[in-house]
Chains A and B, each alone.
Chain A
Amino acid sequence: MIAILYLILACVILLLQFIMRKHRSVSMLGVLHPVISLGITVYLIGTPAQWNASSFFLIDHLSLFIMLITSIIFAAAAIYAVGYIDGLVKSGDLERRSLRIFYFGFSLLLAVTTMAIFTPNIALFWICAELTTVLSALLIAILALRATIDASLKYIFICSTSMLFSFIGIIFLFEAVRNKTGAGSLEWTDIMRQAAGLETGMVWIAFVFFFIGFAAKSGIVPFHTWLPEAHAKAPSAVSAVLSGAILNIGMYGIIRMTGIMKDTAVFAQVSVLLLIFAMITMGVACLSMLRQKKLKPLIAFSSIENMGFILLGIGIGSPVSLFWVLFHMMGHSCIKAGLFFSAGILHRQYKLPTRTGEDEIGDLFLLQPFAAGTLMAGFAALMGMPLFPLFLSKVGILLSSTAISVWIPALVLVLFACAAVALIRFYLPIMAARFPSGEGPVPYTAPLSMKLPIVILLLLSLMIGTVMIPGEEAFLTAAVIDCGFGGQI
């Protein structure tokens, strides 16, 4: 019954945040919540016996892996937020009154995400996903600026309207299971067991509608339009959480549903659909990156591109590609969160977004050498430099994609090259820009709490990229089997 601890922890933290008066203690609580949930997750990973203790939680390798990523990102974001939010409050961007709402929303978002990952019931999963949308919209609009409210409204409208379609998909799935076995069920595991005999028409409709909603959640192209603006306008701690954790929830849903579809007769059509969407996503994301003038939208588009790449891995559907999809998710979340944190430091330094909308960045290496260095390291990681994990997953997924057709890896590699050129084309001018002497902004010294998570995340991604942690391969293989992709690696 360890999983219950998550909920108890959440309630306790939320309660305490109501009572505490001082800002310092509220932020400490904000940090405590994800760190303890990370501890619980690691403990759970260590003791497989505890897993099926209660039927109320679905704990298996896949959900624990996603929970591990989520809690790492939330912990890093919370530590980062301690310094970042102070900066916002001192510079007057964030009113003292809405601080409490921020931390409350932050902890609630973590609680709801944990619930989403561990619920066995699809409908409950859908509600939690919907709640994450609402809560992250609240966090995006926390700065109470017209632009931030506009961005979060877009986020709400696009995501929740698409999520309604996925609820219709769930209803169709329920109906299909009911036709086959008389009593419909909403449990992931039951549906997976019944998947073989389900009626093809009903299952195909169910998947398509389900896919629409969760494509919006994870930023797949036709539904991605909210992502660049939401991530650009949100405070950096929030956009790191959005990119690192919430997108993974969308992908988690798609992985589970594709796992169910794996045994049905419809899987060929499903994988073609996923491949088409993946290629379009990567295409649009890479090409729009070439045109980006500002830092955070650029990083947001690279998240869309990586989500497209993950969708490609899922679409291929072989156990090897799933193994590398999970690996890619881990690597991408760490690097992307690190990038958003260093972007946050630059935002605090240069007071972005400025009135004119253009980024005015200058004397980069004089004012913020640390942030500039980590930004470049992050860009190198995104470009797939070998010591970082994205290179390995690029090799793994493209290798398994050659089974379908040789043109896919060719096109994907060209798109990755475009993305790399776009990143550097953005970085070079700001690297050399100079403010006329005397006019430059006052140097902003980022507190240690903002620098620490960046270093931790970069080192973590380096460790993932270079060395294979002892149990990691077995754990990931088991996760691949859990989500129904079975077969030999």
Chain B
Amino acid sequence: MILTEMAPAWIRICLILTLVSGGFLLSSRNLRNLVRTYQVQSFLLVLIALGLTALEQNMVLLLVAALTLISKVCGIPYCIGFIQKRMSLKQDLTFSYLRPPGALMLSILIILLVYICFARILESLYEANSLFFLGSVIGVSLVLMGLIAVCTRKMAISKVLGYLSMENGVLAFGLFVTELPFFIEFVVIIDLIILVLLTSIMTVGIDSSIEEYKDRMQEFHLWSEEGGIS
């Protein structure tokens, strides 16, 4: 019904919006709305998943959408927010190599480049103007924009967020392959949980100076007091 023929247009809009959220991720300075843009991006993915279920009537995608909703939209952002509160760091102002406007310009160039290259490589898909082709372009360029974020941000927490948006790019691309998405979703979730856990513990160490590091560690009662320096 109306949902099915409206679905492809719906999916294309959501894909473009994910690209926009990637752009936001690059430019926002405040850590709080960095997390918020990540939540928006994940939510858009959920919408794409729903659109795809409408298009191909495959119940697995529904399960994927639910999983993404739980983990990406609420779970991980809450965890990062919790760590940020403890670190009481609000601003991430220092950038290396590229300031946000430069980063945005570069990401537009990248999207164009990926589009041209993939068009030349996958002519058959390009003529068929298939969703898979669009998904692959959007996915890869989102991953690359995440990589720029990791590369230009100084703060480890913002690097982790850049990495998470790369994960979203992979997921966006994975959704368009019918049999694979659940597996991808399962994969991505496990990886994310472990990764975020580990890096957040470490980033606490990196971003704060060395003295607070000791008591901060104590606060998390993970390591005892006398860590001797060899």
Residues of A within 8 A of B (CB): 91-93, 95-98, 123, 126-127, 130-131, 134, 137-138, 141, 143-146, 149-150, 152-153, 156-157, 160-161, 164-165, 167-168, 171-172, 174-175, 178, 183-184, 186, 199, 201-202, 204-205, 351, 353
Which residues of the partner chain B approach A351 to less than 8 Å between Cβ atoms?
230
- Contact among A165, A183, A201 for B123, CB-based, below 8 A: A201
CB <8 Å contact, A161 and B166: yes
Distance between B26 CB and nearest chain A CB, rounded to angstroms: 15
Which residues of the partner chain B approach A171 to less than 8 Å between Cβ atoms?
170, 173-174, 177, 180, 184
Given A131-B194, A160-B163, A172-B136, A165-B206 contact (CB < 8 Å): no
- How many Å lie between the Cα of A165 and that of B226 in the bound state? 41
Which residues of the partner chain A approach B156 to less than 8 Å between Cβ atoms?
153
Which residues of the partner chain A approach B123 to less than 8 Å between Cβ atoms?
201
Which residues of the partner chain B approach A167 to less than 8 Å between Cβ atoms?
170, 184, 187
Which residues of the partner chain B approach A165 to less than 8 Å between Cβ atoms?
143
Distance between A73 CB and nearest chain B CB, rounded to angstroms: 24
Provide a sorted-by-A list of 22 A–B residue pairs whose CB atoms are within 8 angstroms: A95-B227, A123-B184, A127-B187, A149-B205, A149-B206, A152-B202, A153-B156, A153-B202, A153-B203, A157-B159, A161-B150, A161-B163, A164-B169, A167-B187, A168-B136, A168-B139, A168-B140, A174-B180, A175-B132, A184-B179, A186-B183, A201-B123
CB <8 Å contact, B223 and A144: yes
Given A134-B198, A149-B202, A153-B202, A123-B121 contact (CB < 8 Å): no
Contact with A along B112-149 (1 / 0, CB 8 A): 00000010011110000000100010011001001100
Which residues of the partner chain A approach B195 to less than 8 Å between Cβ atoms?
134, 156, 160
Most chain A CB within 10 A, of B118, B199, B217, is at: B199
Closest 4 CB pairs of A and B: A92-B228, A93-B230, A201-B121, A149-B202
Distance between B48 CB and nearest chain A CB, rounded to angstroms: 15
Distance between A369 CB and nearest chain B CB, rounded to angstroms: 24
- How many Å lie between the Cα of A273 and that of B206 in the bound state? 37
Given A97-B223, A171-B180, A184-B180, A141-B202 contact (CB < 8 Å): yes
Which residues of the partner chain A approach B2 to less than 8 Å between Cβ atoms?
none
Which residues of the partner chain A approach B147 to less than 8 Å between Cβ atoms?
161
How many residue pairs bridge A and B at CB < 8 Å?
Answer: 112
Residues of B within 8 A of A (CB): 118, 121-124, 132, 136, 139-140, 143, 146-147, 150, 156, 159, 163, 166-167, 169-170, 173-174, 177, 179-180, 183-184, 187, 190-191, 194-195, 198-199, 202-203, 205-206, 210, 213, 217, 223-224, 226-230
User: Interface on chain B toward A: helix, strand, loop, or mixed SS?
Assistant: helix
Which residues of the partner chain B approach A202 to less than 8 Å between Cβ atoms?
121-122
- Contact among A92, A126, A137, A184 for B226, CB-based, below 8 A: A92
- How many Å lie between the Cα of A160 and that of B143 in the bound state? 12
Given contacts A95-B227, A98-B223, 13 further A-B contacts (CB under 8 A): A93-B230, A126-B187, A146-B213, A161-B163, A168-B173, A171-B177, A172-B136, A175-B132, A183-B179, A199-B124, A202-B122, A205-B121, A353-B230
Which residues of the partner chain B approach A183 to less than 8 Å between Cβ atoms?
179
Distance between A162 CB and nearest chain B CB, rounded to angstroms: 9
- How many Å lie between the Cα of A131 and that of B183 in the bound state? 16
- How many Å lie between the Cα of A199 and that of B139 in the bound state? 21
User: Which chain B residue lies CB-closest to A96?
Assistant: B224
- How many Å lie between the Cα of A168 and that of B205 in the bound state? 32
- How many Å lie between the Cα of A436 and that of B156 in the bound state? 44
- Contact among B187, B223, B230 for A95, CB-based, below 8 A: B223
User: Which chain B residue lies CB-closest to A204?
Assistant: B121
CB <8 Å contact, A134 and B187: no
- How many Å lie between the Cα of A165 and that of B191 in the bound state? 14
Given A149-B206, A156-B199, A164-B143, A93-B177 contact (CB < 8 Å): no
Distance between B51 CB and nearest chain A CB, rounded to angstroms: 19
Most chain A CB within 10 A, of B121, B124, B140, B230, is at: B230
- How many Å lie between the Cα of A41 and that of B202 in the bound state? 36
Which residues of the partner chain B approach A131 to less than 8 Å between Cβ atoms?
194
Given A153-B199, A184-B179, A168-B121 contact (CB < 8 Å): no
CB <8 Å contact, B210 and A178: no
CB <8 Å contact, A184 and B150: no
CB <8 Å contact, A134 and B194: yes
CB <8 Å contact, A174 and B177: yes
Which residues of the partner chain B approach A157 to less than 8 Å between Cβ atoms?
150, 159, 163
- How many Å lie between the Cα of A184 and that of B146 in the bound state? 28
Which residues of the partner chain B approach A168 to less than 8 Å between Cβ atoms?
136, 139-140, 143, 170, 173
Given A93-B230, A134-B198, A164-B167 contact (CB < 8 Å): yes
Distance between B15 CB and nearest chain A CB, rounded to angstroms: 16
Most chain A CB within 10 A, of B139, B167, B205, B224, is at: B205
Which residues of the partner chain B approach A141 to less than 8 Å between Cβ atoms?
202
CB <8 Å contact, A205 and B122: yes
- How many Å lie between the Cα of A167 and that of B205 in the bound state? 30
- How many Å lie between the Cα of A155 and that of B163 in the bound state? 14
- Contact among B132, B198, B224 for A97, CB-based, below 8 A: B224
Given A93-B230, A123-B187, A152-B202, A178-B179 contact (CB < 8 Å): yes
User: Which chain A residue lies CB-closest to B197?
Assistant: A134
Distance between B153 CB and nearest chain A CB, rounded to angstroms: 11
CB <8 Å contact, A95 and B224: yes
CB <8 Å contact, A184 and B170: no
Which residues of the partner chain A approach B229 to less than 8 Å between Cβ atoms?
145
Distance between A403 CB and nearest chain B CB, rounded to angstroms: 29
- How many Å lie between the Cα of A150 and that of B207 in the bound state? 11
Which residues of the partner chain B approach A98 to less than 8 Å between Cβ atoms?
223
CB <8 Å contact, B202 and A164: no
User: Which chain B residue lies CB-closest to A92?
Assistant: B228
Which residues of the partner chain A approach B190 to less than 8 Å between Cβ atoms?
127
Which residues of the partner chain A approach B228 to less than 8 Å between Cβ atoms?
91-93
Which residues of the partner chain A approach B122 to less than 8 Å between Cβ atoms?
201-202, 205
- How many Å lie between the Cα of A161 and that of B121 in the bound state? 24
CB <8 Å contact, A150 and B206: yes
Given A168-B140, A199-B124, A137-B163 contact (CB < 8 Å): no
CB <8 Å contact, B166 and A164: yes
CB <8 Å contact, A164 and B170: yes
Distance between A100 CB and nearest chain B CB, rounded to angstroms: 12
- How many Å lie between the Cα of A175 and that of B210 in the bound state? 49
- How many Å lie between the Cα of A152 and that of B226 in the bound state? 22
- How many Å lie between the Cα of A201 and that of B119 in the bound state? 10
Which residues of the partner chain A approach B183 to less than 8 Å between Cβ atoms?
123, 186
CB <8 Å contact, A91 and B230: yes
